[in-house]
Structure 1
Amino acid sequence: MTNSTTAGASAPAPLTARTTALTVHQTARPDGFPTREHFAFVESEIPAPTPGTALVETLYLSVDPYHREMMDGDFELNAPLEGRTLGRVIASREPSLREGEIVLHRQGWRTHALVAADEVRRIPAFDGVPLNAHLSVFGGTGLTAYVGLTRIAQLREGQDLFVSAAAGGVGTATGRFAKLLGAGRVVGSAGTLEKVEYLTDEVGYDAAFDYRAGPVGEQLARVAPDGIDLMVDNVGGEHLAAGITALREFGRVVRIGTVGQYNTPDSPPVLFNHADVVEKSLRIEGFLVRNHYDVQQELYEFAVPHLQAGRLRLDETVVDGFESIVDAFSSMLRGGNVGKMIVRA
């Protein structure tokens, strides 16, 4: 497992050594944290493209917190898991998909996929931008952070921001984007002292705290004694309650996820002073990034020059080997990653 905060290499070599295809199936519903027993690696022949399709060989895969929530019922059992995947076209019977082209698709945890033209997004090549960035800062993770700040929170220059789960993929991207967009004080929470130090030393957070070290509300008040204008919440629970208390008049909460409850569905409800929402004219709004794909080009135009100039860096934990994907997913759920968790096939 490696952490990356700099631009890396271009696309890895094709997986031509594989003679069979592997697909990961979910075989049971987890009760709490998923384990290896909830998954099966299914081997099959590498499929041949049919008219109108192309064969894509996987290069990089994304494992994300939302996968855990969908495993409770949205994913079909004994069927391939969905997920964002970057791959190279290695055979094609679809004229618009050329061999050697790099594409993104959502057929998920598999080494090979047959795709139609309308099932993929072609990945643009930018000088100095590694391929894996299209699953982190330019992928759904970065797009979530950018949309949250610009469309939902409507961040204005000088405003102060609190980000929960700040050392994850969305959290690190949010912190970096917020600074580039002119935010004032940016503070965050993380699950270890090492991550807290990473946020302040590497990502650019003005302050951060270990949420395991004491009540979140007290620690947030310590690092943001004058309150906050915005909260980007990836956790829910105690974090959300603390953020609502700390918000100033006309404050906004951007709800992105509830990772604190994905493995503990019986968690107690969030307790906060509901009168604050009215008396401080607060706004609490959630969103799904799939409803904002029209912002993708704007994200490129904003972020690519910053990355090329060194003002924006990648925060990634990269795990090698397709067979490591279940372990990478489990590690991510338990906080074993810094930045975006990516599997390099």
Structure 2
Amino acid sequence: MQVSPRRTTLATVAASAGVSVATVSKVLNGRSDVAPATRSLVQSLLRQHDYVAPSPRRAEATPSATIEVQFDTDLNAYSSEIIQGAVEAGAEVGVGVVVSIRKDTDRTAAWARDLVAAGRQALIAVTSELTSGQLAALSRARLPLVVIDPLNLPRARVTSVGSTNFAGGLAATHHLLSLGHRRIAYIGGPATAACNQARLHGYRAAMESEGVPVPPGYVQTGHFRYPDGVAGGATLLDLPEAPTAIFAGSDETALGVIEAARARGLRIPEDLSLVGFDDTQIARMASPPLTTVRQPLREMGRVALRTAMRLAAGEQVDSHHVELATELVVRGSTAPASATSGGRPGHRGA
């Protein structure tokens, strides 16, 4: 009679590595809170011991875990980066990612129940404005929620992931100030959006630190979209004393500003310096390539998914709000303020 070899357990691998069973479990589940050297050692021992996780093999008849990543507006370059990060993180831990677009008006009383009925373990809402009623519906359905770049900050404790928007706005504006610009305008997103407010405060803080006033009309709001850049850029560039530089709250908005400038015979950056925000693919494809503030969008997607899975497993999270660092990326859309910037060719307002 043949005796089957004993199956390797987590305890076996943990003992070989000199770490706890919990640490081996974290490596298997793709958790980020494990030192790189320890992770490499554990992964090597898992392969060496031919470790096979029992539950996924035996549970093939049951549906795999799925997380829904939900947007409330059409997808764009920003959205694709978030999705890419969430999908990559999901693949690492065997979790499916479902992407949907659901307008605020579609989030009815049955919305949360429908998500649970569809087998979702958690919801990641991106740039959404959630009402207290919608939050209560998710709570009643026991569906964990993580919000990326929330548009509002509800009183309830909502787990969210964002970036250092204030620092990004500060860096973008200081860059333009360092180039000698003083007439610097801002075109952002919704006035009440938390991320927009942080970027705007960073812009204002940089201007105040240099003793540079912000003239009336130099702050425009919109929805972080291309048409907002076209409209806001036109408004700014038609002012009697138009800005020589614009900080746009998103790359897509910045591309709209480029079009508004082109329609007025203005060149980027010779006649107008421009900084975006996000560092999506369109920033690198713009002509000229766009100076922008890089948000780690893919990492935000990864962190949101890992956090959602922890909440779904009933675990505690270290913080209800995580901010990842931004970074200024200088490309070809910014240049020193020219001596003739006040009378630029083709400028109707000059």
In our comparison, the structure showing a higher alpha carbon Rg is: 2
- Higher RCO (Cα < 8 Å, 6 or more apart): 1
Structure whose residues are more often strand by fraction: 1
Structure whose residues are more often helix by fraction: 2
Assess same fold via TM > 0.5.
no
Using the size of structure 1 for normalisation, the TM-score is 0.30
